[in-house]
Amino acid sequence: MSETTPMVRMAGVDKHFGELHVLRDINLEVPQGQVVVVLGPSGSGKSTLCRTINRLEPIDSGVIEIDGKTLPAEGKELARLRADVGMVFQSFNLFAHKTILENVTLAPLKVRRTGKAEAEKNGIALLERVGIANQRDKYPAQLSGGQQQRAAIARALAMKPKVMLFDEPTSALDPEMVNEVLDVMTGLAKEGMTMLVVTHEMGFARRAANRVVFMADGEIVEDATPDTFFTAPKSDRAKDFLGKILTH
Amino acid sequence: MNVLLDNLDLYGRAFLGTIELFLIAAVGSLVLGAVVAGMRVSPVPILRAFGTIYVNLIRNTPLTLILFFFAFAYPRLEIVDLSFFTRACIGLILYTAAFVCEVIRSGINTVPVGQAEASRALGFGFGQTLTTIVMPQAVRAVVPPLTNVQIALLKNTTIASGFSVFQAGGIYQELSENGYNVLVGLLWIALGFLILVVPLTLLQRNLDRRWSVAK
């Protein structure tokens, strides 16, 4: 892959949910190492956009490429590609019947066919990095939301992904737990991980994002640096959106 | 009491036959039922259709009819010559699997869709997602109804006496031929079944307790 191949490329992507046109002609490129934060009011299609990138949501038309490879249809090829794309969900989705360490080692063992000793060593190292190594033998339901989300990040990182997708990672958390998750994400961003983050955390967007993409009604309305976006938004919809959140 | 003590050997052999039939049919029906349940939730239309037809056909057929088919009609088809015992096992497995399938499928519906999404996002295929993520959680959710189905199977083994497979349901025939009080004999058989069900109930409770901690 050449230097200029974007890690994620979406071109002319359209998607409907029945009558609802949720994604309208989306064109977006995320270069390697960049952190893109997707903002927008609820129902603007930002979560759907995030989920189309690893084809959890299929698209009607357009092209999506990961590291230069077009997303294939459901099957082995797609599974292989998904293994390289880490995903963190709003509701954590840790495997409820597995311990935290098992959650982190399962995919390396079964998908990557890593040896058990190595998978556990990496797993524990990742859990240490997100600060919950001492919880490794507990089940997800025994952890707080913030701990679960950090475990979910470790689980995604265990696959050594090329890019990480975050679908509203802090929206289901109690306020006092939001920062522990954002800290882990900021750390990742600083290390040069390519990230696409759907969030409502404006502080994170300002602090860690290279770019802010603002969506409304299924369209990308603005695509700018955080500074430009927050201080001088161009569109009325972005001004309206920022006015609603930033006045509090 | 005499009925039991005089015929201890008869009771022993008969209940061993019951246990043998039950254990084989239990394992077989759980495996087949899980496979058919997998078919019914698979993305492949042909597999889904097969699973649906199988369940609706078998579930709505009386067990006696299925066993009679294997006892009398199957030999005429002249496919493979199987012993009565094997044919009884097959009949019980096919019948019970339809019920196991539906119980497991309802268990699958209790597993949040996010579990499968997370699994697919990590690079697991459909088969791996089903067997390592969804199925184990589905089964955990349906231990009590699954136990019900297995207890019913245990009792259904008595129908195999129509097959000359010797098991507990056939005891009374021999007792009455030898002039014993059949009513008392039957009470002992009932007690025998009660005793056989106890370990199943204990197993259910044990699994339920262990798995509810892990949630």
Task: Specify if A34 maps to a domain.
Answer: yes
Helices (H), A158-218: 175-190, 202-208
With H, G, I as helix, E, B as strand and everything else as coil, classify residue A68: coil
In angstroms, the separation between the Cα of residue A112 and the nearest Cα of chain B is 9
CB A207 within 8 A of CB A179: no
Complex ipTM: 0.91
Instruction: Strands of A31-93 (E only): list them.
Output: 35-39, 61-66, 69-70, 85-88
b/e for A128-165, b at 16 or more Cβ within 10 A?
Answer: ebbebbebbebbbeebebbbbbbbbbbbbbbbebbbbb
Sign of the CA dihedral A161, A167, A170, A173? negative
Our measurement of the distance from residue A231's CA atom to the centroid of its chain's CA atoms, rounded to an integer in Å, reads 25
Residue A220's region, left for phi above 0, alpha for psi from -120 to 50, else beta, is beta
Cβ-defined contact of A79 to B132 (cutoff 8 Å) = no
Give residue B192's pLDDT. Answer: 87
Task: Specify if A156 maps to a domain.
Answer: no
Q: Which residue of A has its CA nearest to B122?
A: A83
Is it the case that residue A236 has pLDDT exceeding 50?
Answer: yes
Task: Specify if A1 maps to a domain.
Answer: no
Is it the case that residue A1 has pLDDT exceeding 50?
Answer: no
| Residue-range definition of the domain harbouring residue A216 | 8-94+162-246
Give residue B10's pLDDT. Answer: 81
Q: What integer is the mean pLDDT of A73-79?
A: 88
Q: What is the pLDDT of residues A77-136, one digit of tens each?
A: 999 999 999 999 999 999 999 999 999 999 999 999 999 999 999 999 999 999 999 999
For chain B, which domains are there?
18-167 (1.10.3720.10)
- Residuewise pLDDT in 10s, chain B (215 residues): 577 777 778 888 888 888 999 999 999 999 999 999 999 999 899 999 999 999 999 999 999 999 989 888 888 888 888 888 899 999 999 999 999 999 999 999 999 999 999 999 999 999 999 999 999 999 999 999 999 999 999 999 888 866 666 777 777 777 777 777 778 888 888 888 899 899 999 999 988 888 876 55
SS (H, E, C) chain B: CHHHHHCHHHHHHHHHHHHHHHHHHHHHHHHHHHHHHHHHHCCCHHHHHHHHHHHHHHHCCCHHHHHHHHHHHHHHHCCCCCCHHHHHHHHHHHHHHHHHHHHHHHHHHHCCHHHHHHHHHCCCCHHHHHHHHHHHHHHHHCHHHHHHHHHHHHHHHHHHHHHCCCCHHHHHHHHHHCCCCHHHHHHHHHHHHHHHHHHHHHHHHHHHHHHHHCC
Task: Specify if A128 maps to a domain.
Answer: no
Please, how many CA atoms are within 13 Å of residue B99, restricted to the half-sphere of its CB? 19
Averaged confidence pLDDT in chain A? 93
Residues of B in contact with A112 (CB under 8 A): 123
Task: Specify if A113 maps to a domain.
Answer: no
Q: What is the CATH number of the domain that holds A241?
A: 3.40.50.300
Is it the case that residue A213 has pLDDT exceeding 80?
Answer: yes
Is it the case that residue A9 has pLDDT exceeding 60?
Answer: yes
Judged by average pLDDT, the poorest of A10-14, A192-196, B77-81, B127-131 is B77-81
Those residues whose C-beta lies under 8 Å from the C-beta of residue A85, and which sit 6 or more positions away, are A53, A54, A66, A161, A162, A163, A164, A165, B121
Q: Residue A196 burial (CB < 10 Å; 0-12/13-18/19+)?
A: buried
Task: Specify if A132 maps to a domain.
Answer: no
Token code pair at residue B167: 């098991």
Q: Percentage of residues in chain A with pLDDT exceeding 70?
A: 98
Cβ-defined contact of B121 to A85 (cutoff 8 Å) = yes
Q: Which residue of A has its CA nearest to B43?
A: A74
Residues of B in contact with A87 (CB under 8 A): 118, 121-122
Q: What is the pLDDT of residues A40-67, one digit of tens each?
A: 998 899 999 999 999 999 999 999 999 9
CB B26 within 8 A of CB B153: yes
Give residue B162's pLDDT. Answer: 62
By the CB < 8 Å criterion, does A96 face chain B? yes
Number of domains in chain A: 1
By the CB < 8 Å criterion, does B129 face chain A? no
Residues of B in contact with A95 (CB under 8 A): 115, 118-119, 133
How many CB pairs lie under 8 A apart between chains A and B?
72
